[in-house]
Structure 1
Amino acid sequence: ATGDPIDGAFVLALRLSGGLGGLRIGQTDVDGNYSFADIDTGTWRVYSRATGYWRATVDVDVLAGQTSVANLALDAR
């Protein structure tokens, strides 16, 4: 991972705990950023993948009334 942003990387968030199911799908922008609005509290597993890179995964706890950050670094294949 070089730390450079990846435009158009696929991002998926899957709810692991805190209630019944949940799935969010998105894509990074030119600066490598993504966001999910109105996401329920609980533990979420965030996956990211882009062509030419290995998949990265991180778990994040989402708390009510707070912004949660899940940064991922993709390694080139």
Structure 2
Amino acid sequence: MYVVAVLLGAAGASFAAALPLILSRLYQATGAYTSGFIILSIIAATSLALTVVMQLKWREAGFAVCHQARRPVRPRFK
């Protein structure tokens, strides 16, 4: 579990470091930030769609334990 967290953190950090470079290159090529933000919004929309699809697949597979309704625990007094 720790290895997965480290890998995800490293991937997120590398994307965060690459984003300003990508935006500056697109700004130099086009003269506007519009193309960079359009590409960024496409990436964000694709990530959202993949998250929704995977969540539905996980629920069908039975991995959604945290979504099951739980009854509140009430203390018993005698």
TM-score strictly above 0.5 = no
More strand by share: 1
Under a length normalisation based on structure 2, what TM-score does the superposition of the two structures give? 0.20
User: Looking at both structures, which has the greater relative contact order when contacts are Cα pairs under 8 Å and sequence separation is at least 6?
Assistant: 1
Bigger CA radius of gyration: 2
